[in-house]
């Protein structure tokens, strides 16, 4: 089936098992096809007059009912767009797609980008729409919603001042470039790795920070023999937390590989947390040496764990990056999570201020800044106004083949 009037269907929710799955049908024939596979509880067929209303019923194929479903209709750029919300099992969604295909819809294996489905007025809004689909936290959603509506206007005002206030514009562009890494962490996440000697309580702290028993905990040293990961967030900044094998002389080749792998994870981290046993810290010179080494490393927080058991050396001075905690009781965890969030840029991100949030935006702002440094303000204006903000043909994906 070819032509722009063909109805197409695809799954909009992420791949995998879930409580809810959504299949979207887009195209001129979407209403007709939907009414052949959907039976509402009221017995009424879906019509264009039902825009923005929810209709409850069941989806069926030629032989039997597939699943209960809630259906909604929108008209986007004059083209019917129907969402079918059913249970999120993989097989359920496959059967819904197959039933739609049996009645003339074309299955799209790779869904179009969000900016292809919903109209956008320019490149920046299109990028915000695409990023919203991948947003991992509520804070990221708020951030992107503001950028979608305001970033382009902010940049237009900057572009209009390139010739009259090049020094002021230069400062604003430099500020935008500096904030890019913080925005990137907010949208794409950071990696936070727990390191330290065996039996220091890394796994207990790991479970405390993710809010569930994701890592095995035991009183015997060396329980964690490979690194374990879990997703969490710190003040709205998504993070992958990594629990690594304890640093010591390994007993066998397998443990040696685990320790080496944990070191590799730490080297690639945005932040390392060195977890030490505050009770026995005076007994091991290598731990104090480790503190000296880690304290001089950028991106390391030092925590002395097991504060609930008392310190073997109360006079021991906590390093400036460090603090006492008890992973077992939760003491000090609030302060630790605040410090983690601060390090990852939580305090530096103003949710209602302009930020660059894609590599394309960062590259073009850097280009505009070079133009200003070369005393070419008109060229900087062109880069910002035409290439960075410039409108593009948007809203083309609803009745057409998805972009590849």
pLDDT band (50, 70, 90) for residue 342: very high
pLDDT of the residue at 334: 94
Q: CA geometry: angle at 146 spanning 143 and 147, to 5°?
A: 85
pLDDT of the residue at 164: 96
Phi, psi values for residue 86, rounded to 5°: -130, -175
Task: Write the burial class of residue 383 (CB in 10 Å: 0-12 exposed, 13-18 middle, 19+ buried).
Answer: buried
- The candidate with the shortest Cα–Cα distance to 233, out of 327, 343, 341, 351, is 341
pLDDT band (50, 70, 90) for residue 263: low
What is the per-residue burial (b if ≥16 Cβ within 10 Å, else e) of 287-326? beebbeebeeeeebbbbbbbbbeebeeeeeeebebbebbb
Mean pLDDT of 330-342: 93
For the stretch 29-42, pLDDT in tens is: 999 999 999 999 98
pLDDT band (50, 70, 90) for residue 116: low
Please, are residues 106 and 6 in contact by the beta-carbon 8 Å criterion? yes
pLDDT of the residue at 121: 81
**E strands of 47-87, at which residues?**
54-60, 65-76, 79-87
What integer best gives the mean pLDDT of the chain? 81
pLDDT for residue 252 is more than 50: no
Phi, psi values for residue 123, rounded to 5°: -65, -40
- The helix/strand/coil state of 67 is strand
Please, are residues 238 and 161 in contact by the beta-carbon 8 Å criterion? no
d(CA 106, CA 90): 19
Mean pLDDT of 242-268: 54
pLDDT for residue 210 is more than 80: yes
d(CA 305, CA 309): 9
pLDDT for residue 197 is more than 90: no
pLDDT band (50, 70, 90) for residue 85: very high
- The candidate with the shortest Cα–Cα distance to 196, out of 311, 267, 290, 296, is 290
d(CA 304, CA 248): 18
d(CA 291, CA 192): 18
pLDDT of the residue at 264: 55
How many C-beta atoms surround the C-beta of residue 382 within 10 A? 17
pLDDT of the residue at 299: 80
d(CA 105, CA 221): 59
Mean pLDDT check: name the lowest of 12-16, 63-67, 129-133, 238-242: 12-16
pLDDT of the residue at 250: 42
Please, are residues 72 and 53 in contact by the beta-carbon 8 Å criterion? yes
User: What residues does 73 pair with on adjacent strands?
Assistant: 82
Please, are residues 206 and 214 in contact by the beta-carbon 8 Å criterion? yes
Phi/psi zone of residue 38: left (φ > 0), alpha (ψ -120 to 50 degrees), beta? beta
pLDDT of the residue at 102: 94
Q: CA geometry: angle at 301 spanning 292 and 186, to 5°?
A: 145
For the stretch 160-187, pLDDT in tens is: 999 999 999 999 999 999 999 999 999 9
Mean pLDDT of 120-131: 90
pTM of this structure:
0.71
pLDDT of the residue at 287: 47
pLDDT of the residue at 75: 85
């Amino acid at each position: 089936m070819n032509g722009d009037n063909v109805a197409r269907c695809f799954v909009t929710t992420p791949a995998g098992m879930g409580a809810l799955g959504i299949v979207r049908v887009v195209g001129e024939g979407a209403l007709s096809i939907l009414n052949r596979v959907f039976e509402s509880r009221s017995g009424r067929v879906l019509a264009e007059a039902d825009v923005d209303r929810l209709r409850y019923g069941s989806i069926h194929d030629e032989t039997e009912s597939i699943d209960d479903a809630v259906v909604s209709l929108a008209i986007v750029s004059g083209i019917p767009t129907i969402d079918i919300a059913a249970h999120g099992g993989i097989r359920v969604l496959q059967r819904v797609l197959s039933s739609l295909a049996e009645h003339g819809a074309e299955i799209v294996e790779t869904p179009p980008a969000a900016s292809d489905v919903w109209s956008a007025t320019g490149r920046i809004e299109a990028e915000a729409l695409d990023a919203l689909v991948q947003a991992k936290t509520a804070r990221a959603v708020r951030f992107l919603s503001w950028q979608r509506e305001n970033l382009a206007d902010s940049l237009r005002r900057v572009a209009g001042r390139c010739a009259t206030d090049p020094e002021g514009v230069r400062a604003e562009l430099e500020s935008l470039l500096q904030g890019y890494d913080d925005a990137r962490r907010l949208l794409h996440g950071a990696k936070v790795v727990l390191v330290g000697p065996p039996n220091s309580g890394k796994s207990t702290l790991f479970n405390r920070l993710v809010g569930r028993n994701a890592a095995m905990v035991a009183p015997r040293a060396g329980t964690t023999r490979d690194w374990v990961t879990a997703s969490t967030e710190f003040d709205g900044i998504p993070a992958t937390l990594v629990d690594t094998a304890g640093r010591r002389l390994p007993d066998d080749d397998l443990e040696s590989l685990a320790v080496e792998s944990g070191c590799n994870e730490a080297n690639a981290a945005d932040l390392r947390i060195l977890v030490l046993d505050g009770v026995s810290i005076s007994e091991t010179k290598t731990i104090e040496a480790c503190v000296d080494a880690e304290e001089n490393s950028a991106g390391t927080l030092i925590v002395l764990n097991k504060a609930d058991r008392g310190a073997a050396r109360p006079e021991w001075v906590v390093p400036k990056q460090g603090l006492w905690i008890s992973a077992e009781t939760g003491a000090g965890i609030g302060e630790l999570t605040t410090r983690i969030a601060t390090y990852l840029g939580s305090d530096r991100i103003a949710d209602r201020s302009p930020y660059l949030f894609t590599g394309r935006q960062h590259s073009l702002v850097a280009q505009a800044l070079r133009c200003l440094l070369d005393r070419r303000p008109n060229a900087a204006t062109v880069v910002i106004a035409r290439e960075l903000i410039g409108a593009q043909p948007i809203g083309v994906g609803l009745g057409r083949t998805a972009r590849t």
